[in-house]
Structure 1
Amino acid sequence: MKTVTFRQLRVFTEVARHLSFVRAAETLHLTPPAVTMQVKELEAAIELPLFDRQGRKVSLTTAGEYFLVYAKRLLATLKDADVAMSRFRKLETGILTVGMVGTAKYFVPRLLTRFREEHPGVEVKLQVGANREQLLTMMTAAEVDLAIMGRPPKELATRAEPFAAHPHVFVAPPKHPIFRSGHPPVSALANYPLIVREPASGTRALMDRFFQAHRVEPRIAMEMPSNETIKQAVMAGMGLSFLSLHTLGLELRAGEIELVHVEDTPVIRTWNVVHLPSRVLSPAAEAFRYFIIEEGENYLAEHDRPWLQPTAEG
């Protein structure tokens, strides 16, 4: 084990993540033979095979699964050491990895562009989780420095700081019969099919709580893991939906989707910037944390203002 290098550990974890030597090579900007050589040297150093190879199919051996846990710990410790040293250097440089739920992709890249204008020495990377659970996995594996999400996790010790309101609304295609009611009660939604997010998403959890609070049983016609697919289905007239207002700017401006001003909506949640208190934030991550807390609310308020009724905020 004395000859194991951090380079070998990085290569090993990438192959384990993709279960592909070719994809790991692409991610690391190496050639596949170079990746294979690093893994073979690592296996020789620990005197155990880490992967089963059957043609193009790659899987971890039992020893490989155990070793992956320790490899990730070692790499996370090395990253923490680098962060600590950068604090001594007082440099806002390096790589900032921001994780986010899919809904946040509609505004986080624009905020990151503003952030880069103030901090040009920082290289920014984005990691998008398909849903909240996937993002929590990224945080636990130290794959992201900070995460932008709605409901903070209760199952993981984190520091969550709210920075902006996050309205959720019901939407329908133009000229849908529900618009005849003007300001329909929640019970009116039971008459129409709903196209909704999958149960693991924060949006779905919020919708379920909303209907439970109003003692209404919704007609769920379809579950989809993508906001974009749901919007297309709504525009095609397949049903109504419950979505984050922050996903709807283009469609609302084009008149392809309209808000249904159901009683007791919008449902207001908050956006949070979240990180693990057990890990030291780099100067770049700390700077972005301050930036989004200071700038995020005003930016999103400008987006929301044209669509929300003045009385809806209460």
Structure 2
Amino acid sequence: MHYTLHQLQIFLKIAETKSITKAAEELNLTQPAVSIQLKKLQDQFDIPLTEVIGRQLYVTHFGAEIAITAQKVLDEVATINYKSKTFQGILSGKLTLSVVSTGKYVMPYFLSDFLNQNKGIDLVMDVTNKSRVVKSLENNEIDFALVSILPDDIQLQSENLLENKLYFIGNHNASSGVQNNNIDMFQDFPLIFREEGSATRLVMENYLHRNGLQSIKKMQLTSNEAVKQAVIAGIGYSIMPIIGLKNELENGNLKIIPMKGFPIQSNWHLVWLKNKSMSPVAEAYLKYIRQEKSNLRNTYFSWIDNYTI
């Protein structure tokens, strides 16, 4: 057999996406190029790796086994590359993180300089919902996670990176009906919620419960971006982390509405399992964070201080 690493990489992406078109997009290749490499790999086996039923591509049981083995092969090749760089005195390896969805506005700024200083490091970062982040922590699948609310059923260690301020937000026409921060008016506003399990959703529900308020629930959306666009369109209001609203606040598409009890503040925490055995890359990153987090906060997030009510 004469399959190549390139063919294994392409097949793995096909197995992951269940689509030649999507695999081609994610690999920045043309669809014909991916199809050709899949055929070349398939020609070396008598048993089908994939099958098409209707218009849907499926990976066969045999193909799934080949994908598992291919992943192991590619992981070993990556290990060879990392070890080669290590012997040259270059810090190398994988840094794996899981980040709650709103954390995508935070985490890149606490990574960019570190990665630029250490070209031998490959970053694997999953931006997902809170429950998947917690599961990744519990299963010890990642080096670090970024959360705004610490899970209370896992033993963790943490570094506080940045304050997380949440405000009552409406679009550019929204604030005219609010007077004197009257909290009783809050329940007159149609609210847009995040999905169940979201940390932002939990903050909203806690605020309503703590103040004995009912809400006109307008809709439930599964991402901060979707909530943002719905508020801009005037569908309703929401309680949102300011971290993802910089441009919209500056251009006037969104407004902070003065309301008693706001901002609601928590913190963005970089967390990892207590007593976790860290890789050299993870240890180096944690050292970097402890040394530079204040400078990074002042460099990239000082604009948050401009918004007070």
Q: TM-score range by the shorter chain?
A: 0.7 to 0.9
- 2:217 alignment partner AA: I
Distance in 2 separating the partners of 1:155 and 1:122: 35
Structure 1: where are the runs of 5+ without partners? Answer: 310-314
Aligned partner (choices 149, 152, 166) of residue 151 of structure 1: 149
How far residue 93 of structure 1 moved from its aligned partner, in angstroms, is 4.2
- How far has the Cα of 1:104 moved from its partner? 2.5
Match of 1:308 in 2: 308
Contact 1:96 1:122 (8 Å CA) reproduced: no
SS state at 1:208 partner: helix
Stretch of structure 1 that moved more, 164-173 or 24-33: 24-33
Q: Which runs of 5+ in 2 are unaligned?
A: none
1:161 to 159, 162, 165: 159
Q: Aligned Cα RMSD in Å?
A: 4.2
Q: How does 1:30-109 map to 2 (within 5 A)?
A: 31-32=33-34, 33-38=36-41, 41=44, 44=45, 51-54=50-53, 56-62=55-61, 90-93=89-92, 96=95, 98-109=97-108
Partner Cα distance (1:158, 1:23) in 2: 37
Distance 1:179 1:124 in 2: 51
Once structures 1 and 2 are overlaid, which stretch shifts more, 249-258 or 143-152? Answer: 143-152
Deviations 1:234-288 (A, max 9, x none): 23332211111101111222233222233222222221224567674352x4433
| Matched length | 301
Contact 2:162 2:268 in 1 (8 A): yes
Residue 252 (structure 2) aligns with = 255
Deviates most, 199-208 or 242-251: 199-208
After superposition, give the CA deviation of every residue in 1:111-147 in whole Å (9 maximum; x if it has no partner).
Answer: 4344345x05256657452433455577789986544
Q: Paired residue for 2:212, among 204, 212, 215?
A: 215
Deviations along 1:88-125, one digit per CA (max 9) or x if unpaired, are 664234665554333223343344344345x0525665
Instruction: Give secondary structure in 1 for the equivalent of 2:178.
Output: helix
Indicate which of 196, 200, 203 corresponds to 1:199.
Answer: 196
Matched-pair contact (CA < 8 Å) for 1:51–1:59: yes
Equivalence for 2:12: 13
Residue type matched to 1:304 in 2? I
Structure-1 separation of matches of 2:301 and 2:149: 19
**Structure 1 letter corresponding to 2:305:** R
TM-score (norm 2): 0.73
Q: Which amino acid aligns with 2:17?
A: H
Contact 1:98 1:124 in 2 (8 A): no
